[in-house]
Amino acid sequence: MHSNVNNEYSITRVSDDYWRITINHPPFNIFGPQSIPMLNDVVTEIESDPSVKVVVFDSAVPGFFQTHFDFVPPLETTTSMPPGPTGLPPLPDIFVRLARSSVVTIAEIRGRASGVGSELALACDMRFASREKAVLSQFEIGGGFTPGGGPMVRLPRLIGRGRALEVLLSGCDYPGEIAEQYGYVNRALPDAKLSDFVDTFARRIASFDKQSLVDIKEMVNASTLPSEKEVAAEWSAFITSVQRPAAQRIITELMKLGLQKNPDVETNLPKYTGEVNLPRLP
């Protein structure tokens, strides 16, 4: 077993054909512009290694798988980045490449997967969650803007139109058990059994013929993944919406309440987005 590490993502090669990618950006695993090249490096390494068959994403930060985008850096820091190999902007490019990769990808979700964290999980082939500790959400509507990393075009294919609209229009939290019922995750397991289950499952996949794994994933991809045009349209809608006055006002108010600093705000984000969206008294 050997590892290589950047500031936020470490690759542990459990074997030549089975890797673990661990997210480690305390205290909340917030995803910022600086995270994009680091995650891109990870995906490029996955793409370029001929031996790896299965990759598991997990977290080293208690309570958080990966959370939302960092609201402190100017938006231009992100929008000025050159497009990736698909021609899409960097973040949607990374998620499209991950989804279309020949490698089987699994999200092991323990803690909060909100915003980008949910989008990373949705870009993976499968998701397994802690029954007691996993929470998934697309909180963006509560911030006055739309998501950008693919959930508007991935969730309906995964959980159906009605439930996708429920998740996206409410901005509410979905604990592991409800996420399992909805199909947001494949299974929710007791927390004490989650890692062993995922490890055993990943090792089983890694034991199989790689070309057969590739063929199966390609055929499933053909009928289940959104087009790059749809992914591009979602990112464009996000960039437009986050610049609107309503979004800027709500984000400013959330930052004043302690977003990205106060653990209670990060842990109970739906509560705080609900408060800042209450009608104002004249």
Q: Which positions are annotated as active-site residues? A: 119, 140
Closest-CA residue to 90 (of 265, 259, 232): 232
Q: To which H or E segment does residue 266 belong?
A: helix 263-267
Number of H helices, E strands in the chain: 13, 11
Q: Position of tokens 């053909």?
A: 222
Question: Cα separation of 173 and 96, whole Å?
Answer: 25
3-state secondary structure of 236: helix
Question: Cα separation of 255 and 276, whole Å?
Answer: 11
Number of Cβ within 10 Å of residue 208's Cβ equals 14
Bridge partners (DSSP) listed for residue 9? 23
ω into 33 cis (within 30 of 0): no
Token pair recorded at residue 241 = 């919406």
